[in-house]
Amino acid sequence: MRFIFKTDYNQDIKLAKHGGHTFWYGLLCLFLVAAPWVIQEYWLAQLTFVLIYSIVGLGLMVLAGFTGLFSLGHAAFLGVGAYTQAIMVNAGVPFPIALACAGLLAAAVGMVVGLPALRVKGIYLGMATLAFGFIVEEVIARWESLTGGNKGLMVNYPSLFGWDLDSTNEFYFLCLLVTVLATLGVVNLMRSSTGRAFVA
């Protein structure tokens, strides 16, 4: 087993720790940028879903991987944000504003759930967050007038600063951009005093 020890600040802020990382990161970036031209539309749509779930995974990584808290409710927060975004876009709200509101509402719901959950740990926290996930699922399924129930919602194509994202390729690049920004945000968070406190 090999460990990479960091002996100065410059090593700590590097995204790639050694040449092998640089090669594989570069290869991954090249594939992600070229994907719309080298894979079929179906697989591009699946890759878009991978990017979306990667953002969810980043949040779960911070919570479970760095703070050690065991949560099974992340899908519920994804659902809250996704339905908020879809409903607001269909109502004519500009995409950037709807995106910001979706994130804020999901964060607010997380705070409402998180404050009582501070009293429990381990498997009990997992059970509490899992129960919240079932509650959100039931609300989405039964509130058909707002969420479409089990049929779901048809969402209008988003428009970003006058740019209509009305194709699979354009939506893919939007998701790729958000994923990259979220990843860099988490990396910088974990380098900050707050992130180090999470780990401690």
pLDDT in tens, 34-89: 888 988 888 988 999 999 889 888 888 887 777 777 777 788 888 888 899 888 88
**Three-class secondary structure of residue 92 per DSSP:** coil
Rounded Cα gap, residues 123 and 157, in angstroms: 41
> What is the H or E stretch that residue 84 is in?
helix 74-90
CB atoms within 10 A of CB 38: 9
Rounded mean pLDDT of 16-29?
74
> What is the H or E stretch that residue 25 is in?
helix 19-38
Structure tokens at 103: 């994130």
Rounded Cα gap, residues 76 and 121, in angstroms: 19
